[in-house]
Amino acid sequence: MKKNQIPILYLSISLTIFIYVVYKSEFIWSGDRRYYYFTYYLISFFLLIFSFFCFFINQKVKTYSLILIVSTFFAFYSFETFQALSLDNYYKSKIYKKDTGKKYDHRSLLEILDDLKKKDENVTIRVFPKLWVKNSLIDFFPLSGKSFSKTINCNENGYFSIFESDRYGFNNLDNVWDQNNTKYFLLGDSFVQGCCVDRPNDFSSTLAMLSKKNVINVGYAGNGPLLEYASLKEYYPQNVENILWFYYEGNDAKDLHSEFSNKFLKKYIDDNNFSQNLKQKQNIVDEEILKIINYKKQQLVLNNNFKKKAYQFIKLTNLRSMMNSFLPEKNRPPTQKLIGPEFKKVMKLVKEFSKTNGSDLYFVYLPTFKRYKKIDNNNKNYSKVKSVINDLDIPLIDIHELVFKKETNPLSLFPFQKEGHYNVEGYSKIANVIHEFVQNSKK
């Protein structure tokens, strides 16, 4: 290389790293986790100093430094490649075959969609309402999926869960909307929607069996608290005995922060009388979702698979995860955005809504896999969320305390003891605890 090519290369890389650290710390996390990114600030600052210093050292030292850096990165990405090509799929296939006698379904979402459409044209995939959050110019915001459709959900347990959507595009039997009374009305994200299990193993089906009464679920994957509040106002039926509000500690705080950036969604907060009357506009919802499925099907699948894996590979996700497990908890990477005043504002409105409509409100706190894998024990939102809920005097059903903490091996309630949604046993135990808690609170 020419005399100044190596220092210029170093300087370009250093500036890129520094800008990325600033972006993550100050824009993505809004400074909430600056204590964590302080280490990365120091590293990027050191790299910048080193880059400038390289302009003045002799060429031989520059060459040796380049060889050292390239060798280090080669070692890092060799490890990451080994992890990406690990025997994880083989392990899952072997366990699934042993437990069920069936073959693990390794097809992609696009492959199973194409296969099922050969037999039934009325097959679709989930289109998350959060896809509209980043669009600030909309005058219509779908909060559900396509109605009366066989909807491919997800695969974490060895098979693709599939549900027949109801008249509004949710994971319910359609006749639940014809009942005069509802025992439980569920709001939440993918866990409430029933990912990645089939009926009757999801929360709502299990609660219906336990109570022998009507249960309605308007949860959808990707929803945060503001989308859930909007769903409550749009789809709340008459005569609901209990509202179950599910909070997932993995991403609800981050989702809420993003949702509050959407001016259209904020109308639900700013105007108590605001409504899109979505129950009367399901034909429009279906049309919008079909547009996305028909014209962006490939992109949706790539975003969920290839791009995600490539992004994780570039960021050395597996290597960093292993290294982080040896760090003190306070120095581990942030996995959640801290809740702000928006959370209490939403929950206060939810409580007022439930009181006005004569329903009892329960707050269900769902923990993450990372908590029990010892990746993220330092969950600052946990105490803050509980404090807000206690201040608002909302009954709290803490699934961490009531279910997972009592398990000898809490990871056994996740698919193959890997990160994801709960498995059938996990859904069942949580639903049973919720029902028991509500019943005891009525005594």
The stretch 88-93 carries a mean pLDDT of 77
What is d(CA 146, CA 287) in angstroms, rounded to the nearest whole number? 8
Return the pLDDT at 121.
Answer: 86
User: Could you tell me the pTM of the whole model?
Assistant: 0.79
- Cα diameter, the chain: 83
Q: Per residue in 92-143, pLDDT tens?
A: 888 888 888 999 998 888 788 889 988 888 899 888 999 899 877 778 999 9
Query: Rounded to whole angstroms, what are the CA distances from 241 to 177, 181, 436?
Result: 15, 8, 15
Return the pLDDT at 135.
Answer: 77
Sheet of strand 150-152, all strands in order from the earlier edge strand to the far edge = 123-125, 150-152, 162-164
Kindly tell me the sign of the dihedral angle through the C-alpha atoms of 422, 424, 428, 429: negative
SS3 breakdown of the chain: % helix, strand, coil, rounded to 5? Answer: 55, 10, 35
Q: Per residue in 160-191, pLDDT tens?
A: 999 999 999 999 999 999 999 999 999 999 99
Question: What's domain 109-304+335-442's architecture?
Answer: 3-Layer(aba) Sandwich (3.40)
The angle subtended at Cα 323 by Cα 322 and Cα 325, nearest 5°, is 70
Return the pLDDT at 312.
Answer: 67
Return the pLDDT at 295.
Answer: 60
| Domain limits, the chain | 5-84, 109-304+335-442
Average pLDDT, the chain: 86
The stretch 345-372 carries a mean pLDDT of 96
What type of residue is 375?
Answer: I
Helix (H) or strand (E) holding 263: none
The stretch 280-309 carries a mean pLDDT of 72
